[in-house]
A = this chain, B = another copy of it.
Amino acid sequence: MKQKTIESKVLEIKDKSELMVDLSYSSLIYDHTPIAKEVYELEEVIDILYEEIQHDILNGVKEGATSVEDAHVLMRLAKAGEEIADAALEIADVQLRDVELHPIVKLSIRESDEVLTRVQVLESSILCNKTLGQLKLGSETGMTVIAMRHQNHWLYGPNKNTMIDPNDILFAKGPEDGETHLIELAEGKTSEI
């Protein structure tokens, strides 16, 4: 039981740190400070998780519930995730210091293997009033929604139950032709998901 809790925390660090990298680059490309601030908030969550994991592992070893070898692996994986989170913080910090990013730098980051995009969902869009779970945008368009402005607040790493309302703003990442498809869906230019 204890063991499972440690692993789920390590997984949480993995998922959150990767989300932070995507959010931090998005904040730079779209000159978007709320997302950069969220990276700071997430870093605090990760710091707490990391402390907890170390504590849990040491207790697990002491009580004989965790082998020394497993403990070592879990510590290293947690540390690697925490370092990725620190790197994301560095990237977000460029945005928060109010440095005006050179357009060529922005363009260059956007032209990554996986494109980061921002789109507003119009009232005429088929995406309105459906959950991310119903839409399956990930498998149908290749685009993963990493953040969205929904009913006057920001959601980061939205889940399957998150509903899209008219005028929501989506930040998503995925392949280039997935981006085109998502934009057409959001702007009501196609209803074929």
Contacts and interface: CB of A to CB of B under 8 A. Distances in A.
Given A109-B11, A109-B14, A112-B15, A70 B139 contact: no
Interface in A1-39: 3-4, 7-8, 10-11, 14-15, 18-19, 21, 25
Interface string A66-103: 01011011101101110110111011011000011110
A108 interface: yes
A108 to B, nearest CB: 4
A77 B94 contact: yes
Contacts of A84: 21, 83-84, 87
A99 B91 CA distance: 33
Given A83-B86, A90-B76, A90-B83, A108 B175 contact: no
A105 interface: yes
Contact of A108 (B7, B25, B138): B7
Interface string A172-188: 00110110010000000
A139 B21 CA distance: 22
Number of copies of chain A assembled together: 2
A3 B3 CA distance: 50
Contacts of A69: 99-100
Which of A10, A90, A142 is the most central at the interface, judged by chain B CB atoms within 10 Å of its CB?
A142
A4 B104 CA distance: 8
Q: Please give me the 4 A-B residue pairs with the lowest Cβ-Cβ distance, nearest first.
A: A138-B175, A139-B178, A7-B108, A139-B142
Interface of A: 3-4, 7-8, 10-11, 14-15, 18-19, 21, 25, 67, 69-70, 72-74, 76-77, 79-81, 83-84, 86-88, 90-91, 93-94, 99-102, 104-105, 108-109, 111-114, 136, 138-142, 144, 157, 174-175, 177-178, 181
Given A7-B108, A70-B102, 20 more contacts: A4-B104, A11-B111, A11-B112, A14-B112, A18-B114, A67-B102, A69-B99, A73-B101, A77-B91, A77-B94, A77-B105, A80-B87, A83-B84, A83-B90, A84-B87, A138-B142, A138-B175, A138-B178, A139-B142, A139-B181
